[in-house]
Chain A
Amino acid sequence: MALSPRPRALGARGLGTGLGRPLTAVYAVFALSASARAGYQLATRFDEAPVAYLLSALAALVYVVATVALLRDLRRLALAAVLVELVGVLVVGTLSYADAGDPESTVWSGYGAGYGYVPLVLPVLGLLWIRRSSRPA
Protein backbone atom coordinates (compact mmCIF):
# COMPACT_ATOMS: atom_id res chain seq x y z
CA MET A 1 0.00 0.00 0.00
CA ALA A 2 1.43 3.36 -1.00
CA LEU A 3 2.06 5.95 1.68
CA SER A 4 -0.03 8.63 0.02
CA PRO A 5 -2.73 10.23 2.16
CA ARG A 6 -5.39 8.35 0.26
CA PRO A 7 -3.93 5.11 -1.09
CA ARG A 8 -6.66 4.31 -3.51
CA ALA A 9 -6.10 2.91 -6.96
CA LEU A 10 -7.41 4.80 -9.96
CA GLY A 11 -10.95 3.73 -10.73
CA ALA A 12 -11.60 2.35 -7.25
CA ARG A 13 -14.69 3.71 -5.53
CA GLY A 14 -15.20 5.07 -2.05
CA LEU A 15 -15.19 2.70 0.91
CA GLY A 16 -18.75 3.58 1.86
CA THR A 17 -20.17 3.17 -1.64
CA GLY A 18 -21.24 0.19 -3.68
CA LEU A 19 -21.21 -3.02 -1.69
CA GLY A 20 -19.52 -1.01 1.05
CA ARG A 21 -22.82 0.76 1.71
CA PRO A 22 -24.69 -2.23 3.17
CA LEU A 23 -21.52 -3.11 5.10
CA THR A 24 -21.44 0.44 6.48
CA ALA A 25 -25.08 0.05 7.47
CA VAL A 26 -24.21 -3.00 9.58
CA TYR A 27 -21.34 -1.05 11.18
CA ALA A 28 -23.73 1.81 11.92
CA VAL A 29 -26.14 -0.57 13.65
CA PHE A 30 -23.32 -1.89 15.82
CA ALA A 31 -22.02 1.61 16.49
CA LEU A 32 -25.46 2.60 17.77
CA SER A 33 -26.22 -0.50 19.79
CA ALA A 34 -22.73 -0.88 21.29
CA SER A 35 -22.71 2.80 22.27
CA ALA A 36 -26.11 2.56 23.88
CA ARG A 37 -25.10 -0.57 25.73
CA ALA A 38 -21.77 0.83 26.92
CA GLY A 39 -23.33 4.14 27.94
CA TYR A 40 -25.96 2.33 29.97
CA GLN A 41 -23.41 0.04 31.63
CA LEU A 42 -21.04 2.87 32.51
CA ALA A 43 -23.87 5.01 33.85
CA THR A 44 -25.60 2.37 35.97
CA ARG A 45 -23.28 -0.51 36.81
CA PHE A 46 -19.71 0.73 36.34
CA ASP A 47 -18.65 -0.41 39.87
CA GLU A 48 -19.66 -4.01 39.21
CA ALA A 49 -17.14 -4.74 36.48
CA PRO A 50 -15.14 -1.66 35.49
CA VAL A 51 -12.76 -3.52 33.17
CA ALA A 52 -15.54 -5.27 31.24
CA TYR A 53 -17.53 -2.07 30.89
CA LEU A 54 -14.50 -0.08 29.74
CA LEU A 55 -13.90 -2.79 27.13
CA SER A 56 -17.52 -2.42 26.16
CA ALA A 57 -16.94 1.31 25.68
CA LEU A 58 -13.82 0.59 23.61
CA ALA A 59 -15.86 -1.73 21.39
CA ALA A 60 -18.45 1.01 20.92
CA LEU A 61 -15.74 3.53 20.02
CA VAL A 62 -14.21 1.12 17.49
CA TYR A 63 -17.56 0.66 15.74
CA VAL A 64 -18.22 4.41 15.66
CA VAL A 65 -14.76 5.12 14.22
CA ALA A 66 -15.12 2.31 11.66
CA THR A 67 -18.54 3.63 10.55
CA VAL A 68 -17.30 7.19 10.12
CA ALA A 69 -14.10 6.03 8.37
CA LEU A 70 -16.09 3.90 5.91
CA LEU A 71 -18.54 6.70 5.16
CA ARG A 72 -15.80 9.32 4.77
CA ASP A 73 -13.52 6.99 2.83
CA LEU A 74 -10.69 7.32 5.37
CA ARG A 75 -8.86 4.16 4.41
CA ARG A 76 -6.09 3.97 6.95
CA LEU A 77 -8.42 4.85 9.81
CA ALA A 78 -10.92 2.25 8.60
CA LEU A 79 -8.18 -0.37 8.36
CA ALA A 80 -6.93 0.45 11.86
CA ALA A 81 -10.44 0.34 13.34
CA VAL A 82 -11.31 -2.97 11.68
CA LEU A 83 -8.00 -4.52 12.80
CA VAL A 84 -8.61 -3.39 16.40
CA GLU A 85 -12.11 -4.83 16.08
CA LEU A 86 -10.78 -8.19 14.88
CA VAL A 87 -8.16 -8.37 17.65
CA GLY A 88 -10.79 -7.24 20.16
CA VAL A 89 -13.35 -9.87 19.30
CA LEU A 90 -10.70 -12.63 19.27
CA VAL A 91 -9.04 -11.60 22.55
CA VAL A 92 -12.21 -10.72 24.46
CA GLY A 93 -13.96 -13.80 23.05
CA THR A 94 -11.13 -16.06 24.22
CA LEU A 95 -10.88 -14.40 27.64
CA SER A 96 -14.63 -14.65 28.17
CA TYR A 97 -14.45 -18.40 27.71
CA ALA A 98 -11.31 -18.71 29.81
CA ASP A 99 -12.52 -17.00 32.98
CA ALA A 100 -16.24 -17.64 32.44
CA GLY A 101 -17.12 -14.12 33.54
CA ASP A 102 -20.36 -12.36 32.68
CA PRO A 103 -20.93 -13.62 29.13
CA GLU A 104 -23.01 -10.59 28.28
CA SER A 105 -20.63 -7.88 29.47
CA THR A 106 -19.43 -6.73 26.04
CA VAL A 107 -20.44 -7.06 22.39
CA TRP A 108 -17.32 -9.18 21.89
CA SER A 109 -17.89 -11.67 24.74
CA GLY A 110 -18.19 -15.27 23.55
CA TYR A 111 -16.90 -14.11 20.12
CA GLY A 112 -20.10 -12.10 19.74
CA ALA A 113 -22.43 -15.03 20.50
CA GLY A 114 -25.04 -12.65 21.97
CA TYR A 115 -25.19 -10.90 18.60
CA GLY A 116 -25.41 -13.99 16.38
CA TYR A 117 -21.60 -14.02 15.93
CA VAL A 118 -21.95 -11.02 13.61
CA PRO A 119 -19.12 -9.25 15.56
CA LEU A 120 -16.81 -12.13 14.58
CA VAL A 121 -17.71 -12.10 10.87
CA LEU A 122 -17.92 -8.32 10.46
CA PRO A 123 -14.19 -7.46 10.76
CA VAL A 124 -13.33 -10.21 8.26
CA LEU A 125 -15.84 -8.80 5.77
CA GLY A 126 -14.49 -5.32 6.57
CA LEU A 127 -10.90 -6.32 5.80
CA LEU A 128 -11.92 -8.09 2.58
CA TRP A 129 -13.89 -5.05 1.48
CA ILE A 130 -11.11 -2.57 2.28
CA ARG A 131 -8.69 -4.69 0.28
CA ARG A 132 -11.04 -5.19 -2.65
CA SER A 133 -12.15 -1.59 -2.93
CA SER A 134 -8.52 -0.41 -2.91
CA ARG A 135 -7.98 -2.04 -6.27
CA PRO A 136 -9.26 -0.69 -9.58
CA ALA A 137 -12.92 -1.54 -10.12
Chain B
Amino acid sequence: MTPGLVVAVVVLALLLAGWAVAAGGLGHAPPRTLLQALLGLQLVLLLQLAVVVVRLAQGERPVETGPFFGYLVLSLLMLPGGLALSVEERNRNGTLVLAVACLTVAVVEWRLDVTWR
Protein backbone atom coordinates (compact mmCIF):
# COMPACT_ATOMS: atom_id res chain seq x y z
CA MET B 1 0.00 0.00 0.00
CA THR B 2 1.04 3.64 -0.23
CA PRO B 3 3.11 4.08 2.96
CA GLY B 4 2.20 7.74 3.41
CA LEU B 5 -1.50 7.00 3.19
CA VAL B 6 -1.26 4.07 5.61
CA VAL B 7 0.62 6.13 8.19
CA ALA B 8 -1.82 9.02 7.76
CA VAL B 9 -4.85 6.79 8.30
CA VAL B 10 -3.37 4.98 11.32
CA VAL B 11 -2.17 8.18 13.00
CA LEU B 12 -5.40 10.05 12.30
CA ALA B 13 -7.53 7.13 13.47
CA LEU B 14 -5.53 6.77 16.69
CA LEU B 15 -5.67 10.52 17.37
CA LEU B 16 -9.42 10.56 16.86
CA ALA B 17 -9.78 7.47 19.06
CA GLY B 18 -7.81 9.23 21.81
CA TRP B 19 -9.95 12.33 21.39
CA ALA B 20 -13.14 10.28 21.62
CA VAL B 21 -11.92 8.39 24.71
CA ALA B 22 -11.03 11.70 26.37
CA ALA B 23 -14.31 13.38 25.44
CA GLY B 24 -16.33 10.31 26.46
CA GLY B 25 -14.37 9.99 29.69
CA LEU B 26 -15.21 13.60 30.51
CA GLY B 27 -18.87 12.77 29.98
CA HIS B 28 -19.39 14.57 26.70
CA ALA B 29 -21.70 13.57 23.86
CA PRO B 30 -19.84 13.34 20.53
CA PRO B 31 -18.56 16.90 19.87
CA ARG B 32 -19.46 18.35 16.47
CA THR B 33 -15.79 18.92 15.65
CA LEU B 34 -15.08 15.23 16.29
CA LEU B 35 -17.86 14.26 13.89
CA GLN B 36 -16.37 16.56 11.26
CA ALA B 37 -12.95 15.00 11.81
CA LEU B 38 -14.50 11.55 11.37
CA LEU B 39 -15.93 12.70 8.06
CA GLY B 40 -12.40 13.78 7.11
CA LEU B 41 -11.04 10.33 8.01
CA GLN B 42 -13.76 8.68 5.96
CA LEU B 43 -12.79 10.86 2.98
CA VAL B 44 -9.15 9.74 3.36
CA LEU B 45 -10.38 6.12 3.37
CA LEU B 46 -12.35 6.79 0.17
CA LEU B 47 -9.22 8.34 -1.34
CA GLN B 48 -7.40 5.15 -0.40
CA LEU B 49 -10.07 3.12 -2.20
CA ALA B 50 -9.42 5.20 -5.30
CA VAL B 51 -5.67 4.61 -4.99
CA VAL B 52 -6.25 0.86 -4.68
CA VAL B 53 -8.50 0.84 -7.76
CA VAL B 54 -5.84 2.69 -9.78
CA ARG B 55 -3.08 0.34 -8.67
CA LEU B 56 -5.19 -2.71 -9.44
CA ALA B 57 -5.88 -1.26 -12.88
CA GLN B 58 -2.13 -0.89 -13.36
CA GLY B 59 -1.77 -4.62 -12.78
CA GLU B 60 -0.62 -4.68 -9.16
CA ARG B 61 -2.12 -7.35 -6.94
CA PRO B 62 -2.31 -7.83 -3.14
CA VAL B 63 -0.44 -10.84 -1.71
CA GLU B 64 -3.50 -12.12 0.11
CA THR B 65 -6.34 -11.23 -2.22
CA GLY B 66 -9.35 -12.44 -0.19
CA PRO B 67 -8.37 -10.93 3.17
CA PHE B 68 -7.19 -7.71 1.52
CA PHE B 69 -10.55 -7.02 -0.08
CA GLY B 70 -12.28 -8.05 3.15
CA TYR B 71 -10.32 -5.46 5.08
CA LEU B 72 -10.87 -2.90 2.32
CA VAL B 73 -14.65 -3.27 2.67
CA LEU B 74 -14.43 -3.25 6.49
CA SER B 75 -12.30 -0.08 6.42
CA LEU B 76 -15.12 1.80 4.72
CA LEU B 77 -17.89 0.41 6.94
CA MET B 78 -16.41 1.10 10.37
CA LEU B 79 -17.09 4.83 10.74
CA PRO B 80 -20.62 4.79 9.24
CA GLY B 81 -21.38 1.74 11.42
CA GLY B 82 -20.01 3.43 14.53
CA LEU B 83 -22.02 6.53 13.77
CA ALA B 84 -25.19 4.46 13.34
CA LEU B 85 -24.64 2.78 16.71
CA SER B 86 -23.90 6.09 18.42
CA VAL B 87 -26.84 8.24 17.23
CA GLU B 88 -29.27 6.80 19.78
CA GLU B 89 -26.78 7.52 22.54
CA ARG B 90 -26.22 11.23 22.50
CA ASN B 91 -24.08 11.06 25.61
CA ARG B 92 -20.67 9.75 26.72
CA ASN B 93 -21.48 6.23 25.56
CA GLY B 94 -22.06 7.40 22.00
CA THR B 95 -18.64 9.05 22.10
CA LEU B 96 -17.05 5.80 23.33
CA VAL B 97 -18.70 3.92 20.45
CA LEU B 98 -16.91 6.28 18.06
CA ALA B 99 -13.64 5.54 19.89
CA VAL B 100 -14.17 1.83 19.24
CA ALA B 101 -14.84 2.57 15.56
CA CYS B 102 -11.65 4.67 15.23
CA LEU B 103 -9.49 2.06 16.95
CA THR B 104 -10.91 -0.55 14.58
CA VAL B 105 -10.07 1.63 11.57
CA ALA B 106 -6.44 1.78 12.78
CA VAL B 107 -6.26 -2.01 13.17
CA VAL B 108 -7.98 -2.67 9.83
CA GLU B 109 -5.61 -0.23 8.10
CA TRP B 110 -2.61 -2.07 9.53
CA ARG B 111 -4.05 -5.40 8.31
CA LEU B 112 -4.75 -3.83 4.93
CA ASP B 113 -1.09 -2.90 4.61
CA VAL B 114 0.09 -6.36 5.71
CA THR B 115 -2.17 -8.21 3.27
CA TRP B 116 -1.15 -5.96 0.35
CA ARG B 117 2.62 -6.50 0.59
Residues of A within 8 A of B (CB): 17-22, 24-26, 28-29, 32-33, 36-37, 40, 44
A33 to B73, CA, bound (A): 11
Pick from A17, A29, A36, A40 the residue with the most CB of B within 10 Å: A29
Task: Determine chain B's interface SS by DSSP, over half rule.
Answer: helix
| The 9 A-B residue pairs with the shortest CB-CB distance in the complex, in nearest-first order | A22-B96, A25-B100, A21-B93, A25-B97, A36-B70, A21-B89, A40-B66, A22-B97, A29-B104
- Chain B interface size, under 10 / 10 to 19 / 20 to 34 / 35 or more: 20 to 34
A50 to B51, CA, bound (A): 37
Task: Determine chain A's interface SS by DSSP, over half rule.
Answer: helix
Chain B residues, Cβ within 8 Å of A40 = 66-67, 70
A95 to B63, CA, bound (A): 30
CB of A76 to closest CB in B, whole Å: 23
A37 to B82, CA, bound (A): 21
- B93-A18 in contact (CB<8A): yes
- B74-A22 in contact (CB<8A): no
Q: Given A28-B81, A29-B104, A21 and B66 touching (CB < 8 A)?
A: no
